[in-house]
A = this chain, B = another copy of it.
């Protein structure tokens, strides 16, 4: 069974029980009792447990038949927080998958081990940076990529705001940024990877991935929520690595509504097929995230999960280059640090990047 744990607002146990029964029906068959008795007997979610949680909240466990999902990630999100999103006071705080369902969902094709292999870094923390901002000419972005690669960053990604706008249209950008990184690799003997941001019309996704492959890129950045939660499957099926950006995810993170950040970014993005998941680091420029929250995401990304490979935590959004040792201490080596803007502000971007590279190499075996 697919088991979801909810926190439900409500003073009295009988309200919580009624809400749980409503959710169990709504998120499965979505018809009133008696409409299709045979199907209802088989498929209506089962409320397995209700217990008091914090004051005025209840913890409810509902078990759903995995066949409600089939193999679609879209339908998984629909079951997890589809219509129920329109009810107040409902928050998903845990999810437990049967292995049979996990086997039908994409999961990371590469995961931590695959990223390490591609970067030629078997034990040390990984390092990702970003060419930005939107609005720069493609030649300037390519030059940033070149400098980052010269300095030995593991992955240089596009900024998640850079889509197909002039003056850095997608096709030319991919070609020139990848060329710049490849040139630096030849010069240094390095293995830096360039991950372009793939977005835009779904009908053009295949063509864009063709462009990415032809250029010789090994992976891409994707804004998983606006792009569509099944996008990572399509990218992974092409043999490309998936770095998932958390843009728009904050809509899920109300205190008493939505899906807990560690469940969404840690478990769901992982089963959806992300090899690396970017999230906003504690102490970054979005100040509401705690260290504990980030560690909970890390745990879910790396924990054993049936046949699903571990995915790599990618804390970013204001990670300061000087504080890298502190964060390695907190998060351990199976982490990719995303450090972008603080490097671009330095007078010598290449030297600043190299200092981070050297810091992280000290943590290698």
Q: Which residues of A contact B (CB under 8 A)?
A: 22, 26, 28-32, 34-36, 39-40, 42-43, 67-75, 77-79, 81-88, 132-136, 159-161, 163-166, 199-203, 205-206, 223, 226-231, 233-234, 237, 246-254, 257-259, 280, 285-286, 288-289, 317, 341-342, 344-345
Contacts and interface: CB of A to CB of B under 8 A. Distances in A.
Contacts of A82: 160-161, 223, 226, 247-248
Contacts of A164: 70-72
Contacts of A43: 133-135
A131 to B, nearest CB: 11
A67 B35 contact: no
B74 A163 contact: yes
B258 A72 contact: no
Q: How many chain copies?
A: 2
A335 to B, nearest CB: 20
Contacts of A247: 78, 82-83, 85
Given A36-B133, A258-B251, A161 B68 contact: yes
B199 A74 contact: yes
Looking at A247, A280, A288, which has the most chain B CB atoms within 10 Å of its CB?
Answer: A247
A73 B42 CA distance: 39
Contacts of A35: 132-133, 341, 344-345
A345 to B, nearest CB: 6
Contacts of A84: 250
Contacts of A253: 86
Nearest to A161: B30
Contacts of A250: 83-87, 257
A343 to B, nearest CB: 10
Contact of A78 (B34, B88, B223): B223
A69 B202 CA distance: 16
Looking at A77, A83, A202, A253, which has the most chain B CB atoms within 10 Å of its CB?
Answer: A202
